[in-house]
Amino acid sequence: MDLFQSSYKGRFLAGVDEVGRGPLAGDVVAAAVILDEGKPIEGLRDSKKLSEKKREKIAVEIKEKALAWSIGRASVSEIDTINILQASMLAMSRAVEQLEVRPEHVLVDGNRLPHWSYSSQAVIKGDDSVAEISAASILAKVQRDGEMREMDQIYPGYGLAQHKGYPTKAHLSALQSLGVTDIHRRSFGPVKALLVESMQESQ
C-alpha cells in the first residue's frame, strides 16, 4: 500500500472516495477517513478487490481505529438535477465537511477535485495506492451496499440486494416489467427511455 507518496507529512491527512456513479438507482455515497498512524489496519485496498465479508470486517476496524471518519451523500433527486459527476463531488464535499477532525490535506480518488477550500490533490487509482482513500472506498461501499439491501425489502422484485442498482440484465428486465420506482435515477438513459416509452403509450 501507500505506493503514492504525498508531499504532506502531517497527521491530519484525509482520504475521500465515492461509490455509486454507475447504478440506475439509489444515492451516490462518499466517505472521508483520517487514519491514526499509531493504529495500523491490515488489508486496506480498493474495496472492489475485497470480498463482501472482508470489506465488512475491515469497515468495522476502520471505524474503531481511525482518528475520524464520515459518510456524505447526494440524493437521487440531486443526481437528476445537477448530474452524476457534480453529485459525486457534492457527496465527497459533504463527507469531508462532516469529519470531526478538520483535515490539513485531502487526497481524493480520481482525476477531479470538488470546489472547496481544502489543501488537496486528486490521485488516479488512489483507492488502491493510498491507505486513507482505500479506507474511504471500503466505508462508502459497505454503507451503500447495506442501503441497497434495505431498498430491496422496500422495492422487492428488482434484485437490488444482488446488483446494488447497477444496470444488469436482471435489473433492466425488472424495470421493464415492474416500472420505475422513486429511487431510480430519471436522468439515466435506460430509466429515461422507459419513462418516455410509458408516456407515449399513455397518450
Q: What's the pLDDT tens digit per position in 122-181?
A: 999 999 999 999 999 999 999 999 999 999 999 999 999 999 999 999 999 999 999 999
**Is the model's pLDDT at 202 over the cut of 90?**
no
Residue partners of 51: CB distance under 8 A and separation at least 6:
none
Alpha-carbon gap, residue 87 to 28, rounded angstroms: 7
For the chain, which residues make up each domain, given as ranges? 13-153
Level-2 CATH architecture, domain 13-153: 2-Layer Sandwich (3.30)
Average pLDDT of the segment spanning 75-96: 98
- pLDDT of amino acid 179: 95
- pLDDT of amino acid 203: 60
Alpha-carbon gap, residue 73 to 51, rounded angstroms: 23
- pLDDT of amino acid 9: 77
**Is the model's pLDDT at 11 over the cut of 90?**
no
Select from 3, 137, 133, 126 the least CA-distant residue to 59: 137
% the chain with pLDDT above 70? 97
**Is the model's pLDDT at 105 over the cut of 70?**
yes
User: pTM for this one?
Assistant: 0.94
Phi-psi region of 176 (alpha: psi -120 to 50; beta: other; left: phi over 0): alpha
Q: Dihedral of the CA atoms 50, 79, 71, 20 (nearest 10)?
A: 0
Q: What is the DSSP letter of 98?
A: T
**Is the model's pLDDT at 4 over the cut of 70?**
no
